[in-house]
């Protein structure tokens, strides 16, 4: 049985302009199957979702403190990053990446904060053309985590 659904032609120049505007970098030469870049974006999307959930959990563990507010802000920033990464992924591949539901656990607050700090530093070192500000985003998160750790320790 044939589908009566019409699939419109993609305007490559229009897609390139939208891609460049959203990601602040030129569109790759091909929008389909960009292999390694698409795989990296999928990994970063999952990582942003995991980080957002972890920051929300850590905010609950620091309820009523300045750290709670900072961790909630980190969670919101990670959700926004996830949306930007999803947009870049869609523009690159023409497909969406379903995000798995995160179930973080953090029995030890300081250890979890330190682990997240390390992840942010690792992410800041990734060369990712679609999102040139990813390093700055991650370094800002790491700096916030450093101040939360300092307040938690002392």
Domain range holding 92? 33-153
Give which of 106, 107, 116, 119 is closest to 43, Cα–Cα: 119
Cα distances (angstroms) measured from residue 15 to each of 29, 37, 74, 85: 11, 17, 31, 16
Is 133 domain-assigned? yes
Helix (H) or strand (E) segment spanning residue 110: helix 109-124
What pLDDT is attached to residue 20?
67
What pLDDT is attached to residue 142?
95
Is 96 domain-assigned? yes
CB 130 within 8 A of CB 38: no
Taking the CA of residue 145 as centre, how many other CA atoms within 13 Å lie in the half-sphere pointing to its CB?
Answer: 25
Rounded CA Rg of the chain: 18
- Per-residue pLDDT tens, the chain, 154 aa: give them: 444 444 444 455 566 666 666 666 655 544 444 688 889 899 999 999 999 999 999 999 999 999 999 999 999 999 999 999 999 999 888 889 988 888 888 889 999 999 999 999 999 988 766 677 888 999 999 999 999 999 998 8
Is 102 domain-assigned? yes
Q: Domain tally for the chain?
A: 1
What pLDDT is attached to residue 113?
94
CA pair distance 54, 145, nearest whole angstrom? 12
CATH number for the domain harbouring residue 148: 1.20.1260.10
Give which of 55, 46, 120, 54 is closest to 85, Cα–Cα: 46
- Enter the DSSP assignment of 101: P
What pLDDT is attached to residue 87?
92
What pLDDT is attached to residue 92?
87
Is 70 domain-assigned? yes
Is 139 domain-assigned? yes
**Relative orientation angle of helices 134-153 and 109-124, to the nearest 10 degrees:** 160
CA pair distance 80, 78, nearest whole angstrom? 5
What pLDDT is attached to residue 45?
94
Is 1 domain-assigned? no
Is 2 domain-assigned? no
Is 130 domain-assigned? yes
Full-model pTM: 0.74
What pLDDT is attached to residue 133?
85
């Amino acid at each position: 049985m044939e589908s009566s659904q019409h699939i419109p032609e993609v305007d490559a120049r229009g897609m390139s302009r939208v891609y460049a505007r959203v990601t602040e970098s030129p569109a790759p030469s091909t929008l389909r199957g960009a292999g390694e870049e698409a795989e990296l974006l999928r990994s970063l999307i999952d990582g942003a979702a995991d980080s957002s959930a972890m920051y929300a959990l850590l905010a609950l563990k620091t309820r009523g403190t300045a750290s709670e507010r900072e961790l909630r802000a980190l969670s919101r920033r990670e959700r926004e990053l996830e949306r930007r990464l999803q947009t870049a992924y869609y523009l690159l591949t023409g497909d969406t990446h379903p995000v798995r539901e995160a179930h973080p656990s953090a029995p030890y607050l300081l250890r979890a904060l330190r682990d997240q700090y390390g992840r942010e530093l690792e992410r800041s070192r990734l060369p990712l053309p679609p999102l040139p500000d990813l390093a700055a985003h991650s370094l800002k998160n790491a700096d916030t985590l450093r101040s939360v750790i300092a307040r938690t320790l002392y």
